[in-house]
Structure 1
Amino acid sequence: MSSSEYFTIPLKKGTYVDLTRPITKYIDDVKVYGNSSDYQQALNELQRLRQEFIDRINEKNEKTLKSFYKYADQIVSLELKLPLAENQIRIKFKWQDAFPYLKSKTATALMLASGTYEKVCVLFNVASMATCVACQQKLDTDEGLKTAAKLYQQASGIFTYLQTIVPSVFTTTESTNDLQLETLSALASLTLAQAQDIFIKKAIQDSMKASLLSKLSQQCSLLYEETSKQMQSESLKSIFPKDFAGVSSVKQIVFQALAFYYDGLAYHEKKSFPEGLARLRQARDLMNKASVLLKPFPYAALQKLIENDVAKGEKDNSFIFHAIIPDGTKLPDVEKAVLAKPTPVENVKFSSDSVDLLERLLPLSVHQAVQKCEERRMSLVQTEIMKQREASNKLNNVLVTLNLPASIEDLSGAKLPKSLAEKSSKVRAMGGYQHLERIVNDLPTMLQKCKLILDESEKLLNEEESIDRQLRARYRHSWARSSSDALNRPMRDEIRKYRTAYNEALQADSVVRKRFATYRSAILLLSESDSDMERSLPPPNPAFANLANKKFVQDLQQLMVQVNQLKDERSKIEDKFKSTNIDFANKFMLAYKRDGAVYEESVSKSELDRVYGPLRELSAKNIATQDKLIKQIQLEEFKKQTSSTSSQRDAKLKELASAYDIFIELSATSDEGNKFYGDFTLLLEKFLTSIREFCAERNKEKDELMREMPEVPSQVPAVMAFHHAPPQTVCQCSFLFSFFRIFVQ
């Protein structure tokens, strides 16, 4: 049988898509891969390889197959690195059914925004092109036979592998005929049978022993039998051309005949003449049966050879042996020998000279692990900063209650206490009352803008989903695209996250305004000159003048020095927590290259302990030192209080000290809030733009489907759409927003 009489699998036709723009946008958005311009050349080459893959499906030769290998390697690698999906990098890949000319209820083409779908279709075409090239080989040469067997086994391996990943692709929509599990199974069986077929041809040319040839032929017969059975099943008989199942059925008979023929020769070699002739008769009968079923019959020469051997055997038995020939069906079954096996293709490069164009991109599993670790890191930092600030608030409350250090700086009351003068000077340097009032009043306006963007985003998704629901109800199974509620679920999750952030900011904003209103007059006084403040203070208690030289006052003054040192150290610790980062990506890549796994939980724990462990110990020591200081301060202050009585001036100084702490706190919170709202607004605007893009793409897709529908629904409004904002964008704003949480608590 010539190579042209082996089956080739038709190829799927694809359409042009722009890979460069959406991938570039994603790289810019996630900000973990560097500058997108660094990848431009690689992305352009990727685009060229795909277009070549699409354009050359009719050029069935080894050069085209090598080109197919290169793009297949790239898309397999790319799918592991980038989230090519409906709700992230939304690239709509459209591929036609490889068997579109047959009557079927399924779609003849399918468009999905799925990197796995693209990989499936690409690998399908690689397998199909492999069968085309295998059929072109010269089967009268060793090299041709080896190449054909290799390619058929590779095709079988691909079709087998596709069966494992196809279910994950078609979760919300039905696949085309060629990608149904039953179809892929039949194609895997057919190509494997053809590979075994080639091995038998090579074994015959190499004059292998008859016993081995019988076993090889038996296995080949079983493979063709399985292929024929699958292709004639109810689910597949309308998909494959009739000659696929018919010829497979004939080949099953032919190779069963060959198995009997060579088994008969093996019996003859063992001097078991009656059994050998019985097998030859079986082989002859099966060949005659096959020759009736297939015209023209490509095995006519082999049929003639078997008939001659049977005639010679009958003649020898009549004149020489006079043996009783047993019934061939009573003889032991012919054993089988497996040579052809599906070539494993998972995690294997097709092209030996293929270079990963986007090698610098992190694998998706590494990228996701980096995101999780960054969330853990930020949570740890926020927790530690919150502990520091709670400790600072506790210390400030104690000092304000005791009117320290103001009450021990100028016991005569002749002038403004030094600490209060320094606090007033700092307030004025920071813009004073007017600056704080302005930024506090700006917060509600900025917050309202965020709410409007969120409302608009949700409105667009609701409108697009409503239209899709109406059309789906109208056209039912004919409406062959993914449902909007399945696609926009991650987007709605993002909106819920953003709503939570908005509500927490709203609560924090309310607390800021209330605190500002409570201490408004005191903050206004702190913003005045030292002389104005001095005039506003009540006269001192004359009894305080006698305390200046007391030891407990000197001890308190020394303790205030330690308090300032402790605050300075705490500020440095907080800055260190904020500025320290960890290169998780490098750690995970080392593990990924070594073991193929990232071990996210164990790596993140060990790295966080290594980097932040010393800082946490330093922070805990600082807080413990503060607790000791507070006890000492309270003890010395008790001595001072037993020696004097409080005064109106003392109360006023306490109020101003509290106002200063509130001013510093509100200024920091409001500045951070301003930055948060600015970043949050930009984030939401980008999110809204992405939703509009999503709805526009869905609208375009809807219009294309509508043109294929039997009738056009009336009054279907236009819609808009979205490319999902990367999940880590919530993390980008969470650190800023944590200060609102800290303040509210």
Structure 2
Amino acid sequence: MAAPSSSATNIMLAIPEKKTVGVDLYRPLRNYIVFNYSEREAQNLEDDLETLKETRNNIERFSAADSLSTRRDLLQNYIKALTTVESRFPISPDKDHVNSVTFTWYDAFKNRNKASQKNVHLEKAAILFNLGAVHSQIGLACDRSTVEGRRQASHSFIAAAGAFAYLRDNASTKASIGNSTTVDVSMECAGMLERLMLAQAQECVFENTIAKGSTPGVCAKISRQAGLYYEEAVAALNVTPLNQHFDKTWISHIQLKATLFYAEACYRYSLELHEKEEIGEEIARINSGITALSEAKKSYPRGTSQQILDSINKLETKLNINLDRAMKENDRVYLLRVPPVNSLPPLPAFSLVKSMNMNDVLDASKVKMFSTLVPDNSAKALSRYTEMVDDVIRTQAEKLQQGSELARVHLKEMSLPDSILALEGHSVLPSALWEDVEAVQVSGGPAGLQGELQQLHDLRRVNHELVVQTEELLEKEATEDGQFRSQFGARWTRPQSNTLTKNLQDRLNGFAANLKQAADSDGKIDRSMRQHMALMAILDTRPIESALPSLGRPIMSLDANEDAVVGALKQSLRQLEALGAQRAGLEDMLKDMKTKDDILPKLMTSTGSYEDLFRKEITKYDNICEEISKNLQAQEQLLLHIQAQNSQFASTFNVEDYRASCEKCYKQIEGAIAKYREIKENINEGLKFYVTLQEAISNIKQQASDFAMTRSMQCREMVEDVQRQISGLGVQPPYYHQPPPQPGGSGGGGGGVGGGYLYPPQPTQQPGPGGPPGWHGPYNSGQGQQPYPGGGYYKQ
């Protein structure tokens, strides 16, 4: 159990590893996956099953040829794998569980004793024990003749203490259920081994302290703490179940180390007392150390390490020499009373070691093994935690939004920072009003209305010319027909033009009436624009803010503190802006924390209560929640401060009058926008009307043109027929024998040249009673119709 360090003055103890027997994990776990999930899932997890199988086999095949660091890493990986297996595979004698796996381990200190369990608890406890044992062996293998070697040895013993502490706190109790376990993995043994490893770590620190030449007082404190750790280990060894479990030489070793370091502390402390000339207490401390060593030498068993005995003898010699010197000096010089040993206070102690926290080292949450197997209880637990997180995020996000809205409303009520901008010559419009002005300016502004109105006049002129041209076409055709009718008299038998073109004439008359009334509407627009151009001119100001009134400084200043008032208010506003930026950052941080907050791996590897885990994990949001609360409290106080500062600012710069001027200007701009939109809308309606009307008139003009051309061709034919009749050579034309075709019928309608009378083509679709869309109203009749339904487009 004990092995000497090659160059150290005192040997230390290394813990032997537990031995095990082979166990097949591959087949039972694979069968469980197939039965509870699917064969395909088992195939997907084949690599994980093989890795687990290989790792367990390597644990079984440990030999002295293996490197200790390799062994340590193997044990750490396996304990994390076991934690993963425990969360996904219920290993127990239950028929619905993995019930064909039995773990068997032998006691490390009494190899004949063994224990077997059908669960992972004994397996985890044994692996943790072996991890601590390997760390102790690494510590013992370090070269303690050098400073670095002693430092490494101390670190390894600290790690060993951490492994045994983790065993005691997390696995010993579970492994001991049902009494089917061995003493070495019990809570009592794990606690004793933790104290022993801390004692050896502290001893390494003491050796380095001596090597560095530290003061006697410091060395005494460190030595005493090493002795206390050894004494705690001895106390644990002297009670059940450990008092009958360990070899006597092993127990004797620890007892002698406890005595040795107590006496060492007495010796170092007496040196410090000698320097302080406290000779009486020095003599008492030396006597106490000598007595302890003498008692220890009487009781050590055969087989005790000679190195420890040599150390005791050397220390005893030093104490006796110092005692003789101190007593002589006291008798000759100081003549101080030597206090009884039992009246002395305890020797001071100071620990420079503590058990390593193995939670991070053995954290299995990042292990990807069997990650696709998520039991229902873990999924439900994750959903519950997600709800908790969402509630925190939602509550805090609402607080942040309310804080920002509160700041915005308060600043708006105080007209900040607009008032300060106005003082600096940068007046601003309310955002909604500014957007309306921008829309007006983008569309051309009041200055552009004149061009649009001119376009309206041009379209009306074009429409009027089209009507005149169409009337001239029909009039020309009718004049020509009348001339031939006068010339040929009764022989000119075709229908008169005014009979055939009555419908076209009526429609042209309607268009003319529409145009006349539209001209009246155009005149209203023209007059309205001239009347309100001065009002709308403000909309052409660029930038529009230059049209706003300015906030000026007072003409007379009584105390000349205007700059200080403005500066203080601006500084507070900057602080408020900084708080707003901080809230934005906190909100982003909340979202980022939620995105990264994946506790499923921890849920899968947790062996305790889910609620305990939830309470622990949700605390990660406490800091940011506290920051949000501080931010909102700071803003609340700052807004009160700004309100007071703004009152002083308003009275200093007469802000009330400025606001009244601004409101008047806003109303002027709003009125200008309303009038601009009204005129713009009327012009657009007029343009739409004229474009639609132009299409209709062009259609009628085309019909009239086709009619005139066809009648002209018929006229020439009829003239030739009449002349032949007169000369006796002609024959009666075919159209004398045909009935005149009806408008819209198949007998020559549509304006074509045929054997019958020509009627002007009729439109396939007459405009409805309301006419084409647009403010100028119906264009098809003109019989008492107003061009602007509802009393006209122009708003008085």
- TM-score normalised by length of structure 1: 0.47
| Greater RCO, CA 8 A, separation 6+ | 1
TM-score by length of 2: 0.44
